[in-house]
């Protein structure tokens, strides 16, 4: 078989990663038709179909899934090798791909982006929102963001921000009408607003005080994966919401929401940026790690 062009294989992985020809083409700076033609050529040279594609969706074939499973780590190793070769350059460059859950993106990562990109104009940042735990190497990411309890031991972990806290909040009118819970179990008799992850899981509400941990699943008047919807419902008096303090600080300060069970809501470490310890990090990732460490020294968290 003739040698396959590396760019065609990388383009195939990019199409799957972005979930569409259009988004992959935009990321690579080419037209969607160019990527489509390239994929057809790759499939013809391999003699197998790699993707089932319609006007609305893409799905890996069995052959495509098998190829991608072996291809992603190899492409990562090639990218790392190329970056080592470029490591003597003065200015970090290239694409930094980060996978992170939405709360970490909105509350921790988003405030860092402008300053980081201003410091490193040759770096291109790609951030993908994903709640479920994934193999970042196999999926083609340079780094991931998760909280400490979900980190693998073979990963380098770098703190991304100060400690965080979950709060339980409701509108003043609702608290006046139904009363404020004094113990976590009191929530079982009150209307609550429940987050649902993309996986379908509805995490229990967890409370801690003086070493005692309480987990419960209160009755939900509203269930959604959209935090903004849940907070709006709390502002409108529908129920009690449990969420990161960063989402509701302004509403608490203005008095539009009031917090309850504060003595049961302890702080915990913020999310970590993590990446494989066995690999030389790309220059863009090294620059972001250095940026985080400098920000931590400046702000004292």
Decide: residue 228, CB within 10 A, 0-12 exposed, 13-18 middle, 19+ buried. Answer: exposed
pLDDT given for residue 181 in this prediction? 97
pLDDT given for residue 139 in this prediction? 85
Spell 49-60 as b/e; 16+ CB within 10 A means b: bbbeeeeeebeb
Q: Where are the beta strands (DSSP E) in 171-227?
A: 192-195, 205-209, 212-216, 220-224
pLDDT given for residue 14 in this prediction? 87
Under a CB-based contact definition with an 8 Å cutoff, are residues 71 and 9 in contact?
A: yes
- Return the percentage of the chain with pLDDT > 90, whole number: 60
Q: Report how far residue 109's alpha carbon sits from residue 93's, in angstroms, rounded to the nearest whole number.
A: 19
pLDDT band at 19 (very low <50, low <70, confident <90, very high): confident
- Top-confidence residue, 233 or 89: 233
Q: Which two structure tokens, joined as six digits, stand for 73?
A: 């780590």
pLDDT given for residue 238 in this prediction? 98
Q: At residue 109, does pLDDT exceed 90?
A: yes
Cα dist. 72→35, 57, 145, 191, 279 in Å?
A: 18, 21, 19, 46, 15
- Top-confidence residue, 274 or 54: 274
- The full set of domains in the chain, from first to last, is 1-72 (1.10.10.10), 87-163+269-301 (3.40.190.10), 165-266 (3.40.190.290)
User: What average pLDDT does the segment 145-160 reach?
Assistant: 86
pLDDT given for residue 29 in this prediction? 80
Which residue reads 């460490």 in tokens? 293
Contacts of 14 (CB under 8 A, 6+ apart): 24, 27, 28, 35
pLDDT given for residue 92 in this prediction? 92
Q: First-to-last CA distance in the chain?
A: 56
Q: What is the residue-averaged pLDDT of the chain?
A: 90
Cα dist. 275→27, 68, 81, 144, 182 in Å?
A: 22, 20, 16, 7, 42
pTM over 0.95: no
pLDDT band at 236 (very low <50, low <70, confident <90, very high): very high
pLDDT given for residue 1 in this prediction? 46
pLDDT band at 80 (very low <50, low <70, confident <90, very high): low
Cα dist. 259→49, 85, 126, 181, 279 in Å?
A: 55, 53, 35, 10, 45
**Helices and strands counted in the chain (H then E):** 10, 15
pLDDT given for residue 54 in this prediction? 75
- Return the percentage of the chain with pLDDT > 70, whole number: 94
Q: At residue 253, does pLDDT exceed 70?
A: yes
Tell how strand 272-276 and strand 155-159 pair up: antiparallel
Instruction: Give 46-78 pLDDT, tens digit per residue.
Output: 889 999 887 677 889 998 889 988 888 888 777
pLDDT band at 247 (very low <50, low <70, confident <90, very high): very high
Q: At residue 137, does pLDDT exceed 90?
A: no
HSE at residue 252, side-chain half, CA atoms within 13 A, is 15
pLDDT given for residue 70 in this prediction? 86
pLDDT given for residue 198 in this prediction? 83
Q: At residue 20, does pLDDT exceed 90?
A: no
Find residue 202's DSSP bridge partners.
none
């Amino acid at each position: 078989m003739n040698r396959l062009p590396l760019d065609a294989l990388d383009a195939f992985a990019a199409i799957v990663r972005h979930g569409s020809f259009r988004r992959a083409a935009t990321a690579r700076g080419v037209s969607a038709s160019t990527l489509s033609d390239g994929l057809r050529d790759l499939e013809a040279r391999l003699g197998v179909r790699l993707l089932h594609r319609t006007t609305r969706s893409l799905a890996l074939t069995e052959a495509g899934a098998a190829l991608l499973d072996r291809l992603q780590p190899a492409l990562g190793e090639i990218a790392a090798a190329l970056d080592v070769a470029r490591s003597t350059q003065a200015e970090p460059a290239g694409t930094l791909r980060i996978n992170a859950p939405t709360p970490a993106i909105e509350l921790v990562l988003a405030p860092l982006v402008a300053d980081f990109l201003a410091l490193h104009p040759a770096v291109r940042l790609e951030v993908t929102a994903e709640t479920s735990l994934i193999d970042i190497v196999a999926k083609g990411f340079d780094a991931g963001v998760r909280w400490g309890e979900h980190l693998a031991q073979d990963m380098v972990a770098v703190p991304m921000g100060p400690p965080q806290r979950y709060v339980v909040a409701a509108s003043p009118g609702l608290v006046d009408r139904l009363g404020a819970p004094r113990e976590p179990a009191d929530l079982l008799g009150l209307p609550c607003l429940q987050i649902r992850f993309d996986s379908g899981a509805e995490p229990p509400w967890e409370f801690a005080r003086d070493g005692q941990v309480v987990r419960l699943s209160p009755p939900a008047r509203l269930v959604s994966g959209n935090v903004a919807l849940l907070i709006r419902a709390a502002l409108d008096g529908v129920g009690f919401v449990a969420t990161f303090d960063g989402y509701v600080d302004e509403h608490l300060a203005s008095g539009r929401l009031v917090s309850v069970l504060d003595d049961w809501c302890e702080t915990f470490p913020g999310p970590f940026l993590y990446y494989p310890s066995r690999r030389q990090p790309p220059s863009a990732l090294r620059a972001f790690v250095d940026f985080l460490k400098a920000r931590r020294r400046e702000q004292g968290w």
